[in-house]
């Protein structure tokens, strides 16, 4: 009875230990500049650039929906001059980094987990070690660096796209002009908000890469194990993103 009660706690502690161990090894290799830049650029392209369309879709539609709801109410009270500032404020500080990370967790986190899990169950990771190659250096470092570089960059671009999409709806549906829309943006947003958004994006990138790699490289049990690793990677990444976002918002904005 006691063992079954403690087991979930033990599992969480063990899992956290695996994350910390992998993060430590990755930082070690990055600090020593033991980086395969060819692989890193490849990952930046396949994980980063190829994710731009889906991230833009998610953020732009969110911006448009926000604009639809907020501008409608603002129009009733004659306060449309605040719409742009309000949307930009929420978009930059919260929505762009979080939605970018969630979309990337779904697309890229699952891809990392499934690829590495397939390699694990088919002994390719053992083959790497047998060929005197450290799997963390070869597989994890390029993926983590690629996401650390690309997710903040995509979040910034997506945030801008989200703001423009919001303006598009405010203008076409409610007739809000560009100077009116942008009126309060400089008053509500400051450079610190952009820095905070970039910090959040980097933290989310590390979480997505780490969770995907840990799930993949510890997969067991053939095809079922690969499926489990992929699902776990997405679920744990998304929960982590929201939890980390709350903690980071408290630290960065309070």
Partner 1 sequence: MKSIETKGLIVSYKKKIVLNGIDLVVNEGEIVSLMGGSGCGKSTLLRTVMGLIPASGGEVYIEERRTDNLSEAKMNETRKIMGMVFQEGALFDSMTVRENVAFALRRHTKMKEKEIREAVRERLEAVGLSGVEEKMPSELSGGMRRRVGIARALALSPKILFYDEPTAGLDPMLTATVVELILKMRERYGTTSVVVTHDIAAAERMSDRVAMIHEGRLILEGTFSDLRSSAHLHIRSFLNSMKTP
Interaction site with partner 1 (CB under 8 A): 115, 118-119, 122-124, 126-127, 129-134
CB of 237 to partner 1, least distance (A): 23
Residue 119 vs 147, nearer CB to partner 1: 119
How many CA atoms within 13 Å lie on the side-chain side of 242? 6
CB of 112 to partner 1, least distance (A): 13
Residue 124 vs 249, nearer CB to partner 1: 124
- Give 244-248 contacts, CB < 8 A, sequence gap 24+: 244/200, 244/203, 244/204, 244/207, 245/94, 245/97, 245/98, 245/200, 245/204, 248/196, 248/199, 248/200, 248/203
CB of 123 to partner 1, least distance (A): 4
Residue 122 vs 172, nearer CB to partner 1: 122
CB of 122 to partner 1, least distance (A): 6
How many CA atoms within 13 Å lie on the side-chain side of 56? 13
Answer yes or no: are the C-beta atoms of 117 and 216 closer than 8 Å.
Answer: yes
Distance CA 6, CA 201 (A): 34
Residue 9 vs 130, nearer CB to partner 1: 130
Cβ neighbours for 175, distance < 8 A, ≥ 6 positions apart = none
CB of 52 to partner 1, least distance (A): 22
Per the structure block, which two tokens stand in for 197? 């958004």
CA 182 to chain centre: 28
In 21-37, which positions are buried (b, 16+ CB within 10 angstroms) versus exposed (e)?
ebbebbeebeeeeeebe
Q: C-alpha distances in angstroms, 144 versus 97, 126, 165, 238?
A: 17, 21, 30, 17
Residue 7 vs 122, nearer CB to partner 1: 122
Residue 128 vs 194, nearer CB to partner 1: 128
Residue 170 vs 213, nearer CB to partner 1: 213
Distance CA 139, CA 148 (A): 15
CB of 12 to partner 1, least distance (A): 20
CB of 119 to partner 1, least distance (A): 8
């Amino acid at each position: 009875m006691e063992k079954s009660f403690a087991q979930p706690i033990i599992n969480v502690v063990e899992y956290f230990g695996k994350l910390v161990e992998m993060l430590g090894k990755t930082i070690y290799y990055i600090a020593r500049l033991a980086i395969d830049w060819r692989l890193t650029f490849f990952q930046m392209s396949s994980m980063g650039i190829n994710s731009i369309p889906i991230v833009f879709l998610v953020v732009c539609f969110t911006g448009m929906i926000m604009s639809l709801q907020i501008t409608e109410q603002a129009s009733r009270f004659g306060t449309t001059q605040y719409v742009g500032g309000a949307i930009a404020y929420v978009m930059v500080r919260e929505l762009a980094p979080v939605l970018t990370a969630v979309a990337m967790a779904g697309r890229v986190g699952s891809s990392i987990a499934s690829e590495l899990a397939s390699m694990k169950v088919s002994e390719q990771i053992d083959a790497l070690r047998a060929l005197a190659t450290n799997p963390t250096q070869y597989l994890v470092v390029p993926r983590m660096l690629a996401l650390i570089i690309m997710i903040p960059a995509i979040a910034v671009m997506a945030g801008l796209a989200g703001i423009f999409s919001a303006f598009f709806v405010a203008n076409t549906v409610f007739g809000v002009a560009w100077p009116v829309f942008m009126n309060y943006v400089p008053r509500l947003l400051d450079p610190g908000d952009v820095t905070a958004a970039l910090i959040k994006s980097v933290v989310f990138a590390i979480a997505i890469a780490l969770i995907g790699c840990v799930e993949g490289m510890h997969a067991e049990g053939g095809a079922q194990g690969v499926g489990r690793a992929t699902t776990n990677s997405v679920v744990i990444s998304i929960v982590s993103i929201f939890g980390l976002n709350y903690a980071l918002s408290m630290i960065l904005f309070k």
